Amino acid sequence: MHDAMENKFLPLYTIASGVGVEVLPDLYSYTNQIVNICLVGDSADNFVLVDTGMPESSERLVRVIEERFGENSKPKAIILTHGHFDHTGAVVDLVKKWGVNVYAHEKELPFLTGKESYPDPDGTVEGGLVAKMSPMFPTDPVDLGRFVEALPPDGTVPDMPEWKWVHTPGHAPGQVALFREKDRALIAGDTFVTVKQESLYKVLTQELEINGPPRYLTTDWMAAWESVKKVAALHPSVAVTGHGVPVGGAELKEGLEQLVRDFEKVAIPEFGKYVDRNH
């Protein structure tokens, strides 16, 4: 294994950093600096970790997990919504510690096995200070070797029996959202987020605003729009997104409807190197 996230600590925080929220009895969301991870499951021997936070955060995440499920507890598996640095920051350290399998969409595997780097973040994109800082974000792939596997093609999620994965490309080629039919819970990854992630001020304050994926790393805007339509059509009752606070009920419903309708105006930047306004 190779840990491209080693020594890549970034001093970026929100007021929610370090805060955990029990969104549902078996869905816990925790904010690590500027990104959310989820613990899905209800007991120490039956839970899964979704996404692995920022670089150099493994000790913190282990503490969070042990506080919730007891000392030495470890997840049955790690599911990655996608392979960006802020979702894979601690993954190599955690796999080394626990020896558990990691699952991601097959199109993300090149970025998780050291074969391919993501395109450079777009520091010129319309948005704000976080966008301008983005060129310093790591894009080198981690290498999880034999510990990473593709999610099953039938839509099931290993060790999350009631959940299905839904392919939501655009922000990353193999991004997935996770959805549970019985209570319509959604873990969205960065398919959409609930904060204007390009703006340092809004990242700091976490003002709720249902928005498209973080702009500086999104390379295919038409696919990103289709993916928002796809998750909106699931009519989620509650959603945890990769960035921002959890959201549910009418706020989520209306926010998603509006995002689908106004995606071109709200989500797609006016300018940026991955923006083609002449499609």
Report the nearest approach of Zn ion to the CB of residue 121 (Å). Answer: 10
- By CB under 5 A, residue 122 contacts Zn ion: no
Verify binding: residue 170, Zn ion, rule CB under 5 A: no
Q: Is 84 in the site for Zn ion (CB under 5 A)?
A: yes
- Within 8 A by CB and 6+ apart from 269, the residues are 125, 126, 127, 215, 275
**Complex with Zn ion: residue 70 or 119, whichever CB lies closer:** 119
Tell me which residues in 123-142 interact with Zn ion (CB under 5 A): none
Contacts of 11-19 with C-beta under 8 Å, sequence gap 24+, read 12/54, 12/130, 12/133, 12/203, 13/204, 14/195, 14/203, 14/204, 14/205, 14/206, 15/204, 15/205, 15/206, 16/206, 16/245
Task: Indicate which single residue of 93, 108, 159, 190 sits in contact with Zn ion (rule: CB under 5 A).
Answer: 190
DSSP class of residue 187 equals E
What string of DSSP letters covers 35-100? EEEEEEEEETTEEEEE---STT-HHHHHHHHHHHH-TT---SEEE-S---HHHHTTHHHHHHHH--
Compute the least distance from the CB of residue 113 to Zn ion, in Å.
18
* 139 Cα distance to chain centroid: 15
Q: Which residue is nearest to Zn ion (CB)?
A: 84
Stretch that binds Zn ion, among 42-50, 78-86, 162-170, 180-188 (CB under 5 A): 78-86
Q: Determine, following the binding rule CB under 5 A, whether residue 86 of this chain makes contact with Zn ion.
A: yes
Residue 242 binds Zn ion (CB under 5 A): yes
Of residues 75 and 242, the one with the C-beta less far from Zn ion: 242
3-class DSSP state for residue 202?
A: helix
- Least distance between Zn ion and beta carbon 160 (Å): 20
What is the nearest approach in angstroms of Zn ion to the Cβ of residue 44? 28
Give the interface size with Zn ion as a residue count (CB under 5 A): 4
- Nearer to Zn ion by Cβ, of 242 and 272: the residue is 242
Strand-pair partners of 256:
none
Q: How far is the CB of 99 from Zn ion (least distance, A)?
A: 26
Least separation, in Å, of the C-beta of 239 and Zn ion? 14
Question: Which of these, 99, 97, 102, lies nearest to 60 by C-alpha position?
Answer: 97
Residue 203 has φ and ψ, to the nearest 5°, of -65, -40
Quote the least distance from Cβ 51 to Zn ion, whole Å.
8
Structure tokens at 79: 């599911």
Of 69 and 244, nearer to Zn ion (C-beta) is 244
By CB under 5 A, residue 159 contacts Zn ion: no
Which listed range, 83-91, 115-123, 146-154, 259-267, lies at the site for Zn ion (CB under 5 A)? 83-91
Rounded Cα distance between 89 and 51, Å, is: 9
Q: Is 198 in the site for Zn ion (CB under 5 A)?
A: no
CA triplet 86, 90, 91: central angle to 5 degrees?
100
Binding site for Zn ion (CB under 5 A): 84, 86, 190, 242
